[in-house]
Structure 1
Amino acid sequence: MIRVLVVDDSAFMRNMITEFLTSNQQIAVAGTARNGEEALQKIEELRPDVVTLDIEMPVMDGKETLKNIMAKRSLPVIMVSSLTQRGADITIECLEIGAVDFVGKPSGSISFDLYKVREELIEKVLAAGRAKVNPASARLPKQAPLQTSAAKSGGRFIPSGASKQLVCIGTSTGGPKALQRVLPKLPRTLKAPVFVVQHMPAGFTASLANRLNHLSEVTVKEAEHGERAKAGWVYIAPGGKNMTVHLANGELVISLDDRDTGSRHKPSVDYLFNSLATLTGFEKIAVIMTGMGSDGTEGVKNLLRHSRGPVIAESEESCVVFGMPKAVINNGLADDVKHVDEIAAAIMTYTK
């Protein structure tokens, strides 16, 4: 049984979140709190397994409360955020500080339509109950790019001889912080474009891209429909959209759509990887990092079905949730299994 502390300044929201969570037999609500100060007291008293934490509260807001939680104990926290630009920016900061995941309130701080994210909230609390949390410092320092000579790889991959390369990354729960430990280590001289799918709803990926761009030597941006991909640039699929890449006049061109697919995720890792599989003349370096479920496994299979390319999976040791990489590893698809801090070096080993 996963015991949850629900923190929100609105009694209506506390009651609704409690009702949603207790509808699942694996979850019990241990208690509720109206603000951050009360939440910290309740954590000491009740010792919950997971905390759902509102961002906008009086007395002590969610961000400051999270900092206090991370300083004292390894406790999985799910942020509950309003869908505003300010809310998105603070949410990304909270994921850096150590929150496991977040859920967006559909219509502001008091959302009468919170039922729209009911299943998402339950799923994320269940995942958080199994998650590993590292109470690291709030912000990781900007790290110098790793040079190819410093990279080490134990993979069995043999280069395909393709004249060009691209990198594709798929991740979910814990992904924003994992990306922050990979992308800033890539040098601006990287001779391949990087395409990223991070499971995230609409309205948050622009904030994530801006934050990563600020920390990185490579240019990181939210992908736009119809733009030409450049080497040394990182393109993050917008939340709520699927991203594909195709060739036009010898250039890689990004397309976005909101088509429903076999995956319940939008953006979907499989959807991106499947579009890359049939591209000719490119060696594809695939990376699967922390996240629940198995999105990306079928896409990796498709990549390997059409053309040989190295596959890097994040190790269980560094994953917040060892789901997506585990599925790739268990299917015998990974050439390398790497701690998140070694993934950039592995990518540089494979790029020419």
Structure 2
Amino acid sequence: MVLLPKKKLLIVDDSAFMRKLIGDFFKDSNVIEVVGIARNGKDAIQKIKALKPDVVTLDVEMPEMNGLDALKRIMAETPVAVIMLSSTTQRGTEITLQAMAYGAVDFVAKPSGTISLDLHKIKDELVAKVENAAHVTISKLNKETTKLPRTTPKLLDRKSVASNLVSTKRVSNWSKTTKKMVLIGTSTGGPRALQEVITKLPKNMQAPVLIVQHMPAGFTKSLAERLNQLAEIEVKEAENGDIIRNGQAYIAPGGYHMKIQKVGSTYCIVLDNEEAPRAGHRPSVDVLFEDNSHYNDFDKIAVIMTGMGSDGSKGLVELKKNGHVVAIAESADTCIVYGMPKAAVETKAVNEIVDLENIAKAIIQYLP
């Protein structure tokens, strides 16, 4: 068996204790080799130029040059896959969301503040995200989503992919007069992808939008507030009992599965923190889709975008068994990580594969 060369990691943190803890996580790794450390943003920029790492872990809060300022410089001068390490304070969550917009691949929340003695709690998550980031195509991170080349949505019945995909015939009897609901699932790279899609949806759209983005508690609230400032539709972190209305988007809070319940002639949000995580995720896209499959008062437009793993694919199969459903998957060309959309496509339940900048248009074409 040929062993592939290890991917190079640079650890950036102003705490020597934290640098050692993070470094120890990768001592036995067959995939990642720690090639250096940096004490602040300025030091990081120099070390990246000298060591040419594949991945950087970057602390958000550092003296001299903080993580956000360093990230801007890094992405402008020497683009590399960056995983942010953030505190869960309100300021920490807001800065982390900005970092995602500036091109960071992903983030990990420190369990207990800037110096986390219990960092071992997030060891598996950090290692998995670093290993995943090492294989990300850097050009996708360093590109503003609004500047991506405009192309037409790719229908799945194209000859090049027809053998692996379902026919799009089921869309032909789609009615524009019935009630609609939009369901979106995403993970790694999702905050930027959501910004690209949600900001293009019209204020008067005749459907609500339910969103699952894999994130811990606190970060989903900051994401909702950020999107609400940028979008025409209203965006909020979902709360138990929220009445679901057209032209509003509801983001499942970290730590809770999002379901719905019929009350009279309306539907409301049900949040569940008792059902176990699915494949490590709560909220889970599968849970959102499966729960939604029990209701047939409305047609569904299900969208799966960039993310690690396969969350959403099992739920999509259930959705398709019940009622009218159009499934849209983000294309490999624009995904930061082509995991979740790939798994969805492999179910043969997807109707359209669409580049990120055209997903909003693809959704709108199915609405009243």
Say whether the fold is shared (TM-score over 0.5): yes
Gaps of 5+ in 1: 142-150
Q: CA deviation at 1:334?
A: 1.1
Deviations along 1:251-304, one digit per CA (max 9) or x if unpaired, are 111011112144310110001111100112210100000001000000100000
The answer to whether residue 219 in structure 2 is matched with residue 204 in structure 1 is: yes
The answer to whether residue 364 in structure 2 is matched with residue 309 in structure 1 is: no
The answer to whether residue 20 in structure 2 is matched with residue 6 in structure 1 is: no
* Residue matched to 1:267: 283
Pick one of 113, 117, 127 that aligns with 2:118: 113
Q: CA deviation at 1:120?
A: 0.4
Query: Which amino acid is 2:217 matched to?
Result: A
Task: Single out whichever of 179-188 and 15-24 deviates more from structure 2.
Answer: 15-24
* Residue matched to 1:41: 46
Deviations along 1:298-325, one digit per CA (max 9) or x if unpaired, are 0100000112311000000000000000
For normalisation by structure 1, the TM-score amounts to 0.94
2:341 is paired with a residue whose SS is helix
Contact 1:82 1:108 in 2 (8 A): yes
Q: How is 1:1-352 mapped onto 2 (pairs within 5 angstroms)?
A: 1-133=6-138, 134-136=140-142, 154=155, 156=168, 157-161=171-175, 163-259=178-274, 260-352=276-368
Q: CA deviation at 1:137?
A: 6.6
Task: Single out whichever of 126-135 and 164-173 deviates more from structure 2.
Answer: 126-135
Query: Which amino acid is 2:201 matched to?
Result: L
Task: Single out whichever of 304-313 and 47-56 deviates more from structure 2.
Answer: 304-313
1:275 is paired with a residue whose SS is helix
Query: Which amino acid is 2:285 matched to?
Result: V
Deviations along 1:57-111, one digit per CA (max 9) or x if unpaired, are 1111000000001102331100000110000000000000000000011111000
* Residue matched to 1:148: none
Contact 2:296 2:322 in 1 (8 A): no
Contact 1:152 1:349 in 2 (8 A): no
Determine the C-alpha separation between the residues in 1 that align with 2:154 and 2:105.
29
Determine the C-alpha separation between the residues in 1 that align with 2:95 and 2:336.
20
Determine the C-alpha separation between the residues in 1 that align with 2:143 and 2:334.
16
Query: Which amino acid is 1:89 matched to?
Result: E
Contact 2:154 2:353 in 1 (8 A): no
Q: CA deviation at 1:138?
A: 7.2
Determine the C-alpha separation between the residues in 1 that align with 2:135 and 2:213.
20
Contact 1:97 1:139 in 2 (8 A): no
Q: CA deviation at 1:27?
A: 1.1
Query: Which amino acid is 1:226 matched to?
Result: G
Task: Single out whichever of 31-40 and 14-23 deviates more from structure 2.
Answer: 14-23
1:80 is paired with a residue whose SS is strand
Determine the C-alpha separation between the residues in 2 that align with 1:346 and 1:139.
17
**Count, aligned residues:** 344
Determine the C-alpha separation between the residues in 2 that align with 1:160 and 1:139.
30
Determine the C-alpha separation between the residues in 1 that align with 2:60 and 2:146.
22
For normalisation by structure 2, the TM-score amounts to 0.90
Contact 2:153 2:354 in 1 (8 A): no
Determine the C-alpha separation between the residues in 2 that align with 1:312 and 1:12.
45
Contact 1:67 1:138 in 2 (8 A): no
* Residue matched to 1:144: none
Q: CA deviation at 1:225?
A: 0.5
Determine the C-alpha separation between the residues in 2 that align with 1:87 and 1:232.
30
Contact 2:303 2:328 in 1 (8 A): yes
Distance 1:94 1:298, change over 3 A: same
Percentage of pairs with the same residue: 48
Q: CA deviation at 1:199?
A: 0.3
Gaps of 5+ in 2: 1-5, 157-167
